[in-house]
A and B are shown apart, each in its own frame.
Chain A
Amino acid sequence: MPSPEPKLICCNVSKIFGSGAREFMASAKADISAEALASAGLVGAVRNVDLEVRSGEIFVIMGLSGSGKSTLVRCLSRLIEPTAGEILFNGENLLAASDSRMIEIRRHQMGMVFQNFALLPHLTVLANVAFPLEVQGIDRSTREARARKMIELVGLSGKENAFPRELSGGQQQRVGIARSLAVEPELWFLDEPFSALDPLIRREMQDEFMRLQSVLKKTIVFITHDFDEAIRLADRIAIMKDGAVVQAGTPEDIVLNPATAYVAEFTRNVPKAKVVRVASIMRQANGAMPNGAATVQAHATVSEAAPVFGDNSEHLGVVDGDSQPVGVLHRADVVDLMMRG
């Protein structure tokens, strides 16, 4: 389980576009529904969002285009100034930070990957990756050594002297990832990093991303419009609609208990067995574990556990990360879940 200590807390954050937005927020604090805003001639890109991103977790913000997810992530890094609310990063209120303090924070503690890569066209791969360090005034040999390491990490060794235009989309995004990691950020924003890529490459990049995260253990805010991607990558998901978060929770929570019809629409076609973890449907072990029975990890998904059932076994032992028994998985429960689709 990831440690519960929060890295980034976002309280009541709103971003209202239009003139007089601040006055509106001050006067009508209670009601910032889409209708109330529209009648005032304003647009609520982000409305009263509360989030908590914990250290070391992958927090996915999922929403369709226009749902405000990109605005929200830019509010979190203060690329866009929120109209109201509070953002605490390591306990420090970002909205109260001075410009120079923000530059400091962004230089050393934050990294961001962009949907369309945002590579500088006039720089080579090496220079692009080293650019954030160059901006900090780090000397050439140090920054290039670090950049080379990052390029190696994302598997682009040998392409150091290529220009962005000479790379494929997937390779370009690898450069983007390497660049965002060059400053060794604590908090890593990824704004729809794989949306501009072909489906096959996207899949490959998702795997690559998971591999990187298993090594790096960053705190991640990941934006996507693709529910499957969210389910696949997330420790926790927040689903946004019209600027507000409609549901936040683990992929399991969301798939098993969609809060609204809107969320249910997304979850309907997700095979539950691929999301639900063994721990959620296991039963208490009554007495001793059947000896010799196979065991599965509590955090494995049900679809991963299913093949472990032998032809005749009705139960599987469930163990936690330290191989201590925590419960029993019944075949009937697995079948039941799979039948629900």
Chain B
Amino acid sequence: MSARSHFQPLAPAREGSPSRGNSASLIAWGVAIAAFLLLWRFGAEALKWTFDYPKSWQIPLARWIGDAMKWLVNQASFGLFTFTDLTRFIASIIDLPYKLALSLLSTGFLSGQGSSAVQILPPLSWIAVIAIVTMMGLHAGGRRLALIVGLCFGFLAVFGQWQSAMVTLASILVAVPLSVVAGLLLGIAAYRWPRFEKALTPVLDLMQTIPVFAYLVPILFLFGFGPTAAVVATLIYAMPPMTRISTLSLHSVPSEIHDLGKMIGCTRRQMTWRVLVPSAKDSLMVGVNQVIMLSLNMVIIASMIGAGGLGFDVLAALRRLDIGAGLESGLAIVALAVALDRLSQAYAERAGAPGTTGIVGGSFVARNPYTLAALAIVLLTGLAGLALPFVQTYPESLRLSTGSFWSNVVAWINVNFFDTFEAIKNAVLLNVLVPFKRFLGGLPWLGVTGLLAFAGYRLGGIRLALVVSILAFLIAATGQWEKATITVYLCGISVMLAMLIGIPIGILAAERERLWSWVRVIIDTLQTLPSFVYLMPAVMLFRVGDFTAMIAVVAYSIVPAIRYTVHGLTKVDPRLIEAGRAMGCTPWQILTKIKLKLALPEIMLGLNQTIMFALSMLVITALVGTRDLGQEVYIALTKADTGRGLVAGLAVAFIAIIADRLISAGAARTKARLGLA
């Protein structure tokens, strides 16, 4: 779930919360914490229910959801057709373009069913596909891009990942346009009707914070097992940012353009499609890029409900602990991700650049050199492929595999450094992880809820206090408190580590232009990697357990910590730094007294993003045997228990929303205090 970094925090920061006197604030905090400590210290016997939420009071949400699901699948009906008929109908509609893309890229056009099928037309040959993407690269960004894209796809062929990669590409080709169109339409609706936006925002918040695993089961029930269900899951996952970006970019179209549309007498439809959407095209393309990256991120998870392709290969390799094979398939996803990311970014930039699209006149050939060249290659290789099999499919004898090499490397490391790794792991586990886990587990839920509510009240007023405490209470009331503390513990430790490593890197990079350009390449690349990829090296070296999960989460969530720190520091008004220098501040004083102070709100937003990243990664680490909410979700997935999975998933979402709201409010307050708002 790598994409969170690109957009702003879930909740728009609220401003204007009353600022109170410093000493009054301290006293209030003191009282709140004292009350909390009293409850924690002495409440264990007298008020046992404040520590363990009593079973009899629990809201049986999981059962309700399960029942609702059963009803939906078995009984819900619109009269003429049932709900299941509807979902299966939607599935069959999605299936059409998917079949087409799959035929084109992988299976060829078949006649007949099953094993008796006869191929009428072969799929696009590997040479043709590479030629097409290279032409696109040339068209969108020039030779450099063409080379990168060509190499990425070449990698797929040479390393024997071609078949799987094309299956994955087919589902991406279906999921992305669907997500973009659906996201855009929802975004336009939200732009047009503010009430709809109000209703939509919390839904989007949930869609983005519920772990994907949680809604795989209901999708399975409704859409069946297979690529179509995977496309639906990808749609749910990849659409929210597109919706948000659409609304945001429509809102940021200058009001004058809006006035212009009205003044020349546009109808509503003309206004939307002829004036607003084209004017917002640049930022909309950023959304398209987001959708592509999120869809790729879903590849592995989607393979759990039948997507096949590269994701399935990775998952299968992980399950049989074949590190080499898994790494290779993982790298293939990365290659695909890099190619598609760069391509879509180049197209986004091109949309903004003038001049090239306006060429009028000239023959059809002159105007469409790339399209024609690609077409020619498709035809040529198609014909040649009939006679020469190596043109059609990359010859097996020329394939390379590094799988065994990686397996050997890992084996070698484990043989030689096993003791060292084990020692580090155990030391950290015993001295840091376990004590922190025990500490959190021993806190009373009521006290924590109260403290969160108080923090919400101080930071954002009574509304925030209500939201935060209701969400925290719901976690307890649905019986998820214990697992939630484990999630918070793992997430908290990982975030602290990520911030501890990320902020200094950010500070160093912000001061040094050249270092930053290197760091940026690295974190940009890290961000294109699907989250599963982080799991593999961690498992290789540390096997399963909390420590491994922590390493993977830190590696995954460090990117926003670095990025936001750099961003905040470089955004500080240079005149203030100049003023500081003029006053004779040392570089250290400038850093600590001016830059870091003013960059604080931005760094807080970085913290927020880091938490979101960490939570999304944490759920995936359930595969390496954590015991938190993520594991609960994962177990529910394997048992196809809709209610259990969704309840645990909602708990994760609630944790994310609580953290997001509190930190955003804090950042907004800091910003207002610093006069930066």
Q: Given A122-B281, A166-B354, A106 and B254 touching (CB < 8 A)?
A: no
The one of A131, A162, A164, A189 in contact with B264, judged by C-beta atoms closer than 8 angstroms, is A131
B511 → chain A, closest Cβ, in Å? 34
Binary interface profile of B, 97-114, with partner A (CB < 8 Å = 1, else 0)? 000000000000000000
Task: Tell me whether B355 is interfacial, beta carbon within 8 Å.
Answer: yes
Q: Given the complex, which residues of A lie within 8 Å of B355, measured CB to CB?
A: 163, 166
- Contact status A163-B354, CB under 8 Å: yes
Report A113 CB to chain B, min CB distance, Å: 10
Q: What is the CA–CA distance of A79 and B256 in the complex, to the nearest angstrom?
A: 11
The docked-state distance in angstroms from the alpha carbon of A105 to that of B262 is 11
Q: Are B260 and A112 in contact, CB atoms less than 8 angstroms apart?
A: yes
Q: Let me know if A115 and B265 touch, CB within 8 A.
A: no
Chain A CB within 8 A of B576 CB: no
Segment 186-210 of B: residues with Cβ below 8 Å from A? none
A166→B357 CA distance, assembly (Å): 13
Q: Are A79 and B278 in contact (CB under 8 A)?
A: no
A15 to B260, CA, bound (A): 20
CB pair B263–A110 under 8 Å, yes or no, is: yes
Interchain CB contact (< 8 A) of B267 among A103, A123, A162, A165:
A103
Chain B's nearest CB lies how many Å from the CB of A100?
A: 9
Contact partners of A26 in chain B: CB under 8 A: none
Contact (Cβ within 8 A) B259 A114? yes
**Contact indicator B263/A79 (Cβ below 8 Å):** yes
- CB pair A103 B278 closer than 8 Å: no
Query: Which residues, 83 to 121 on A, are CB-close (under 8 Å) to B?
Result: 102-108, 110-112, 114-118, 120-121
CB A173 to nearest CB in B, in angstroms, measures: 12
Tell me, rounded to whole Å, the shortest Cβ–Cβ distance linking B565 to chain A: 33
Cross-interface CB contact of A136 among B257, B265, B278, B354, cutoff 8 Å: B265
Q: Are B265 and A122 closer than 8 Å at their CB atoms?
A: no
Which are the 10 A-B pairs with shortest beta-carbon distances? A163-B354, A107-B265, A132-B264, A118-B256, A106-B265, A103-B265, A118-B260, A112-B263, A114-B256, A122-B278
A202: interface (CB < 8 Å): no
Distance, CA A163 to CA B354, complexed state (A): 6
- Can you list 29 contacts pairing A with B, beta carbon distance less than 8 Å? A79-B262, A105-B265, A106-B263, A107-B265, A111-B263, A112-B263, A114-B259, A114-B260, A116-B254, A116-B256, A118-B254, A120-B257, A120-B275, A120-B278, A121-B278, A121-B279, A121-B282, A122-B281, A123-B278, A124-B358, A132-B265, A134-B274, A135-B265, A163-B355, A164-B354, A165-B354, A166-B354, A183-B264, A189-B263
Q: Which residue of B lies closest to A110 (CB)?
A: B263
What class of interface size applies to chain A in its complex with B?
35 or more
Q: Using Cβ atoms and an 8 Å threshold, which residues of chain B touch A135?
A: 264-266, 270, 274
Q: Find residues 277-308 in chain B having any chain A CB closer than 8 Å to their own CB.
A: 278-279, 281-282
Q: Is the CB of B358 within 8 A of A163?
A: yes
Residues of B within 8 A of A79 (CB): 259, 262-263
Does A157 make an interface contact (CB < 8 A)?
A: no
Q: Convert A119-142 into 0s and 1s, putting 1 for each residue whose CB lies closer than 8 angstroms to a CB of B.
A: 011111000000110111000000
* A74 in contact (CB, < 8 A): yes
Q: Encode contact with B along A21-50: 1 for CB under 8 Å, 0 otherwise.
A: 000000000000000000000000000000
Residues in chain A near residue B354, CB distance under 8 A: 121, 162-166
In the bound complex, how far is the Cα of B376 from the Cα of A271, in angstroms?
74
Chain A residue, CB-CB nearest to B274: A135
Hey, which chain B residues are within 8 Å of A162, CB to CB? 354
How far in angstroms is the closest Cβ of chain A from B360?
7
Of all chain A residues, which has the CB nearest B277? Answer: A122
C-alpha gap A115/B254 in the complex (Å): 11
Q: What residues of chain A lie closer than 8 Å to B264, measured between beta carbons?
A: 106-107, 131-132, 135, 183
A77 contacts B by Cβ under 8 Å: yes
**Interface size bracket, B side:** 20 to 34
Inter-chain CA distance A92–B656, complex, in Å, is 57
Q: B360 to chain A: which residues have CB within 8 Å?
A: 161
Contacts of B263 in A (CB 8 A): 77, 79, 106, 110-112, 189
Cβ of A172 to closest chain B Cβ, rounded Å: 12
The CA of A114 and the CA of B257, in the complex, are separated in Å by: 9
Given contacts A135-B274, A161-B360, contact A104 B265 (CB under 8 A): yes
A111 vs B260: C-alpha distance when bound (angstroms): 9
User: Within the complex, which residue of B257, B265, B278 is in contact with A118, where a contact is CB–CB below 8 Å?
Assistant: B257
Q: Which residues of the partner chain A approach B282 to less than 8 Å between Cβ atoms?
A: 121
How far is B264's CA from A111's CA once the two chains are assembled, in angstroms? 7
228-268 of chain B: CB within 8 A of chain A:
254, 256-257, 259-260, 262-267
Q: Give the chain A neighbours of B256 by CB distance below 8 A.
A: 114-118
13 further A-B pairs in the complex, CB-CB below 8 A; given A106-B264, A118-B254: A74-B259, A106-B265, A107-B264, A107-B265, A112-B260, A112-B263, A114-B259, A118-B259, A121-B354, A122-B351, A135-B266, A136-B265, A166-B354
Complex-state Cα separation, A104 to B267, whole angstroms:
10
Report the minimum CB–CB distance from A140 to chain B (whole Å): 12
Docked CA distance A161–B354 (Å) = 11
Tell me the nearest residue of chain B to A123, going by C-beta: B278
Q: State the CA gap A110–B263 with chains docked (Å).
A: 7
- Bound form: Cα–Cα A35–B254 in Å: 32
A117 to B260 CA separation, bound complex (whole angstroms): 9
**A contact residues around B275 at 8 Å (CB):** 120
- In the complex, chain A residues whose CB is within 8 Å of the CB of B358: 124, 161, 163
Give A124 to B360 CA distance when docked, in angstroms: 11
CA distance A252 to B279 in the complex (A): 44
Which of B259, B270, B279, B351 contacts A112 (CB under 8 A)? B259
Minimum distance in angstroms from B16 CB to a CB of chain A: 15
Cβ B279 vs Cβ A106 within 8 A = no
Select from chain A the residue with minimum beta-carbon distance to B356. Answer: A163
Residues of B within 8 A of A121 (CB): 278-279, 281-282, 354
Chain B residue contacts of A104, Cβ below 8 A: 265
Residue pair A122, B254 in contact (C-beta under 8 Å): no
B278 → A minimal CB distance (Å): 5
Please name all residues of chain B whose beta carbon is closer than 8 Å to the beta carbon of A131 when the two chains form the complex: 264, 274
Tell me the residues in window 246-302 of chain A with beta carbons closer than 8 Å to chain B beta carbons.
none
- Most A CB contacts (10 A, CB to CB) among B260, B279, B354, B355 go to B260
On chain A, the residues within 8 Å of B278 by CB distance are: 120-123
B195 smallest CB distance to A (angstroms): 16
- Closest-by-CB residue of B relative to A163 is B354
CB-based nearest B residue for A127: B358
Contacts of A110 in B (CB 8 A): 263
Q: Which residues of B contact A77 (CB under 8 A)?
A: 263
Give every chain B residue within 8 A of A122 (Cβ-Cβ). Answer: 278-279, 281, 351
Nearest CB on B from A130, distance (A):
11
Scan residues 356-380 of chain B and give those whose CB is less than 8 A from a CB of chain A. 358, 360
Q: How far is the CA of A105 from the CA of B259 in the complex (A)?
A: 15
Smallest Cβ-Cβ distance to A107: which chain B residue: B265
- A105 surroundings in chain B (CB, below 8 A): 265
A116 to B279, CA, bound (A): 14
User: B347 to chain A: closest CB distance in Å?
Assistant: 14
Q: Which residues of A contact B257 (CB under 8 A)?
A: 118, 120
Q: Find chain A residues with CB under 8 A from B267 CB.
A: 103
Chain A residue with the shortest CB-CB distance to B259: A79
What B residues does A112 contact at CB under 8 A? 259-260, 263
Interchain nearest-CB distance for B285 vs A (Å): 12
Residues of B within 8 A of A166 (CB): 354-355
Complex Cα distance, B262 from A120, in Å, reads 14
A281 to B262, CA, bound (A): 46
Most B CB atoms within 10 A — which of A112, A166, A183? A112
